[in-house]
Amino acid sequence: MTDMLLHAFIYLSAAVVAVPIAKRLGLGSVLGYLIAGVVIGPLFGWVGDEASELQHYAEFGVVMMLFLVGLELEPRTLWSMRDRVLGLGGLQVLLTAAAVSGIALAFGMPLRSAVAAGFALSLSSTAIVLQTFQEKGLASTQGGRSAFSVLLFQDIVVIPMLAIIPLLALPELVSAIATDSGHGSDAGHAGASLVADLEPWAAAIVVVGSIAAVVLGGRYLSPRLFRMVAATGLREAFTAVTLSLVIGVALLMILVGLSPALGTFLAGVVLANSQFRPEIETNIEPFKGLLLGLFFITVGAGIRFDVLANEAGLVLALTLGVMLLKGAILFGLAYLFRVRHSEGWLFTLSLSQAGEFGFVLLSYSVANQVIAPEYVPILTLVVGLSMFLTPLLFIAFDRVVVPRYARDREPEREPDPIADRGKVIIAGIGRFGQIVNRLLTANGIETVVLDRQVAQIENMRSIGMKSWFGDATRPDLLQTAGIEEAALFVVAIDEPDQAVGIVEHLKHRHPHVRVLARAFDRGHEFRLREAGADYAIRETVGSALALATTALRELGTHPFRAENLRATFEATEAQVDDDLYEAWRRRPDGERMGHDYRELFMQLDAAMADAMQRDRDDRHTRAERGWTPPPKSYTDDLEEEAESND
Amino acid sequence: MASIVEGKRILILFAHPSIERSEVNVELLRASRGREGVEVVDLYAEYPDYRIDIDREQDRLRRNDVIVFMFPLYWYSTPAILKEWQDLVLEYDFAYGNEGTELVGKTLLCAMTAGGPEKAYHAEGFNHYTLRELLRPIEQTTSLCGMRFLAPFALFAARKAHEEGRVRRHVDDWLQLLEALREDRVDLEAASHAATLNAALDQLLPTTRGASE
């Protein structure tokens, strides 16, 4: 127990120290984690063998990441990517594996080992690449999308590779005693399996059935489940359901011999249209982040400095050679698939490393007597080092490639007024938020709607509104809802205190967003204004004044005059409101939330009545002022003047 | 008062109820904005509910020397908000009447666009009256307030001006006039008798145009 806690403490504190420093230096979090791993592993030896063990758990972070990536991709988008996945991904893996095998063969490696090494080195690091894309906002660029297509193909192809490797077993190694198979555990081929003992056709049915279960279950069953759990209002229950969904899908995929990453990715795509998407994302995100971080640390900790010291020249030459080779193939493919200019460079630089699947394939190859054990430390080191170098390539991309192409491109960019306008996030889609939303969407303005009431969300969805279940008071959920691109935020939720909290948060963290808020009453309006709302309006004022105006008309006031009286009332109130607000802001401390609140409110009311009284006395003419006719005798002077002119 | 600006101060009251469809007036508005000594008010933007703030508008009139109504002609008259502005702002004892001398000596002109071609605004044309005749209510209002009324700065056949490439020239002319008004170089007496300011621009601004050509 203490061991575990100690390790957890070391890993976490290493991350806490290294990551902010790396980010401050512009190196990105991935490099920070890797360096942290090197520091606590090979450098100081605070952690030891359990690092490689931990890595297997931490790889689950990759699974979660693919789930999250899937959530961002609607099925339609995925379908439109199919050519890229198969063409670009297929060619990349095929060409790289062939080239690596060929070179290994030329250097005297046995054919079968060379093929296995080709497999291992052809794959790139989903973890590093996607994490960095996310961090730098590159995921939706053309280069980012293309790189993702390749990674997706790699995640799929790793399964057949794992199936082929045992068939490559070298006779001379098989006769030797199998080496430590503990490290050989992998995604699909160790432990329990549903399909191992089945006939091929039966196995196929089970596999297809499992995929169908994920898709159909995700489509039809999970919404009910989420709705049920959401109704309980327990945040942790929702987290538990989400986690168990991801773990369950991964488990099912492992049992039928498919890639767990692929399975959860699929589940993510199925849920991409769900109203629960932001909430799911928000719940999984921290787990993914922690696990991935841990994964990167273990990669850093796993770098064998003893091997590196002994074979420095060889390892460095191999690493650079592999990256150059992969890069050259990627660059050619990018050109072929019309991923040009800076996008092509992004594609090339981001995928030129070997990846975490390389570790798996290498240890699996050793366990299956495909590669002689003496090669493995060096090859593993090559994989690890290439991953270590990747963040540096991203930095090169930022500092060298982007400025070059940005300079070329700048003048032709035309501002797009409609896109510039940005979208509107509406928190709370009850009776109030709905009206706001209708006017905006009726005029072609993009809105994103958040609400905690599942029923409201489903109503909105049934009429085709983009709306999501979620608690708008959670900062991370706002992130997922797209607060960065939002121009405007409408706070229309029922709970006064939470509304104030949201406004405070928005003004603090996202000062670029204009905040318009619905106030419950005057006190609430003042609190919203104090919190920084750009506009706060009491929810009842508009309709009550409309009714009062109708009342005046019913009593015989001329409709136009009734309108003017109302306008005067509103203008006066707005003025009084400002005065009252200033008075309220200067209130003694502690009067805001306590039981003095009611008393304060009575003071406000009294002040208001006083102000209205004053208005009736002094400014009586105000309502009368417009369109005032001149005095009855005013023409006398003018006529006099005209006569004297004659 | 640290910032005493030299030259005449100009107030542009812009009124266009559907500015998103505007092709000429919006260009004039854009070109007029941000110039020293020129105060531009988009009336429909400032008073979308027609609730004109009388005090604010009277203050504006007090601090400017030249008042410009900038608008597209709607049914031979100004858009509604400009009429509303007159009804509300030009109060007894402010603009006229015994005490109403606030506007005396100031200058008013209309910078306007008209749909019909120039020959239509003629006794024989299909609009039967010249622009100056149609603008008589404003001219008389100006007169009662003790102001000088100038001929309109007008663009005819404005609906086709964009296609025919006449907008650029019109805007340039306007900026020249604006500058001349600022520097008090306009022959106001001649300008108050012209049919439109555009036709007589060369004679009205002798120092710039005359010298350069």
Chain-centroid distance, C-alpha A306: 39
Is residue A120 within 8 A of residue A365, CB to CB? The reply is yes
User: Which of A497, A484, A482 is closest to A449 using CA atoms?
Assistant: A482
Is B94 in CB contact (< 8 Å) with chain A?
no
Identify which of B51, B88, B91 has the shortest CB distance to residue A567. B51
User: Alpha-carbon distance A131 to B52, whole Å?
Assistant: 56
From A627's Cα to the closest Cα of chain B, the distance in A is 5
Query: What is the per-residue pLDDT for B155?
Result: 96
User: Which of A158, A153, A145, A126 is closest to A334 using CA atoms?
Assistant: A145
Q: Which of B20, B47, B50, B51 to mutate to test the interface with A (most CBs of A within 10 A)?
A: B51
Query: What is the per-residue pLDDT for B148?
Result: 96
Kindly report which listed range (A247-251, A532-536, A590-594, B155-159) carries the lowest average pLDDT score. Answer: A590-594
Kindly report which listed range (A49-63, A140-154, B52-66) carries the lowest average pLDDT score. Answer: A49-63
User: Alpha-carbon distance A452 to A230, whole Å?
Assistant: 8
User: Alpha-carbon distance A69 to A83, whole Å?
Assistant: 19
Chain B residues with beta carbon closer than 8 angstroms to that of A629: 92
**Would you put residue B41 in left (φ > 0), alpha (ψ -120 to 50) or beta?**
beta
- Interchain pair B87, A630: CB under 8 A: no
Residue B129 confidence (pLDDT) above 90: yes
Residue B44 confidence (pLDDT) above 50: yes
- The residues, any chain, with a CB within 8 Å of residue A147's CB and separated by 6 or more, are A129, A133, A346, A347, A350, A351
Chain A residues with beta carbon closer than 8 angstroms to that of B51: 567, 571
Identify which of B51, B91, B144 has the shortest CB distance to residue A628. B91
Identify which of A567, A571, A634 has the shortest CB distance to residue B92. A634
Chain A residues with beta carbon closer than 8 angstroms to that of B98: 637
- The residues, any chain, with a CB within 8 Å of residue A352's CB and separated by 6 or more, are A124, A323, A324, A326, A327, A330, A386, A390, A393
Residue A617 confidence (pLDDT) above 90: no
B24 or A297, greater pLDDT = B24
B91 or A640, greater pLDDT = B91
Residue of B nearest to A635 (CA): B97
Which strands make up the sheet holding A467-469, listed edge to edge? A467-469, A447-451, A423-427, A486-491, A514-519, A535-538
Q: Which amino acid is at B97?
A: G
User: Alpha-carbon distance A30 to A355, whole Å?
Assistant: 13
Is B87 in CB contact (< 8 Å) with chain A?
yes
Which residues from A are below 8 Å from B when comparing CB atoms? 567, 571, 625-631, 634, 637-638
B31 or A55, greater pLDDT = B31
| DSSP 3-state of A390 | helix
Kindly report which listed range (A220-224, A453-457, A638-642, B18-22) carries the lowest average pLDDT score. Answer: A638-642
Residue B25 confidence (pLDDT) above 50: yes
The pair of structure tokens assigned to A413 is 């960019």
Is B97 in CB contact (< 8 Å) with chain A?
yes
User: Alpha-carbon distance B206 to B190, whole Å?
Assistant: 12
Chain B residues with beta carbon closer than 8 angstroms to that of A630: 92, 96-97
Residue of B nearest to A622 (CA): B54
Question: Could you give the angle at which helices A260-271 and A235-255 cross, rounded to 10 degrees?
Answer: 130
Is B26 in CB contact (< 8 Å) with chain A?
no
Is residue A324 within 8 A of residue A349, CB to CB? The reply is no
Residue A177 confidence (pLDDT) above 60: no
User: Which of B180, B184, B116, B181 is closest to B154 using CA atoms?
Assistant: B116
| DSSP 3-state of B107 | strand
Residue A188 confidence (pLDDT) above 80: no
Q: Phi/psi of residue B96, each to 5°?
A: -150, 175
Query: What is the per-residue pLDDT for A422?
Result: 62
Percent residues over pLDDT 70 in chain A = 86
- Interchain pair B54, A625: CB under 8 A: yes
DSSP tag of A217: I
Query: What is the per-residue pLDDT for A611?
Result: 54
From B125's Cα to the closest Cα of chain A, the distance in A is 35
The kind and range of the H/E element at B108 are: strand B107-113
- Interchain pair A626, B96: CB under 8 A: no
The pair of structure tokens assigned to A62 is 């990759």
Query: What is the per-residue pLDDT for B213?
Result: 39
What ipTM is given for this predicted complex? 0.80
DSSP tag of A534: S
Residue A155 pLDDT grade (very low, low, confident, very high; cuts 50, 70, 90): confident
Identify which of B51, B54, B98 has the shortest CB distance to residue A637. B98
From A628's Cα to the closest Cα of chain B, the distance in A is 7
Kindly report which listed range (A52-61, A178-187, A286-295, B59-68) carries the lowest average pLDDT score. Answer: A178-187
Identify which of B88, B96, B98 has the shortest CB distance to residue A627. B88
Is B50 in CB contact (< 8 Å) with chain A?
no
B133 or A606, greater pLDDT = B133
Is B49 in CB contact (< 8 Å) with chain A?
yes
Using alpha carbons only, what angle is made at residue A479 by residues A478 and A482, rounded to the nearest 5 degrees? 90
Query: What is the per-residue pLDDT for A459?
Result: 81
- Interchain pair B88, A634: CB under 8 A: no
Chain A residues with beta carbon closer than 8 angstroms to that of B49: 567
User: Alpha-carbon distance A17 to A33, whole Å?
Assistant: 9
Kindly report which listed range (A389-393, A488-492, A580-584, B140-144) carries the lowest average pLDDT score. Answer: A580-584
Chain A residues with beta carbon closer than 8 angstroms to that of B144: 638
Query: What is the per-residue pLDDT for B211?
Result: 42
Q: What is the pLDDT of residues A494-516, one digit of tens each?
A: 888 889 999 998 988 888 899 99
Percent residues over pLDDT 90 in chain A = 13
Q: Which of B57, B91, B143 to mutate to test the interface with A (most CBs of A within 10 A)?
A: B91
- Interchain pair A630, B54: CB under 8 A: no
Residues facing residue B11 across a β-bridge: B39, B67
User: Which of A251, A304, A245 is closest to A43 using CA atoms?
Assistant: A304
Query: What is the per-residue pLDDT for A165?
Result: 81
Is residue B209 within 8 A of residue B202, CB to CB? The reply is yes
B134 or A362, greater pLDDT = B134
Kindly report which listed range (A337-341, A361-365, A420-424) carries the lowest average pLDDT score. Answer: A420-424
| DSSP 3-state of B13 | strand
User: Alpha-carbon distance A555 to A297, whole Å?
Assistant: 78
- Interchain pair A567, B54: CB under 8 A: no
R_g (Cα) of chain A, nearest Å? 33
Is residue A169 within 8 A of residue A143, CB to CB? The reply is no
Average pLDDT, chain A: 80
Query: What is the per-residue pLDDT for A389?
Result: 87
The kind and range of the H/E element at A117 are: helix A111-122
Torsion of the alpha carbons at B58, B62, B63 and B64, rounded to the nearest 10: 100
Burial class (CB in 10 A: 0-12, 13-18, 19+), A557: middle
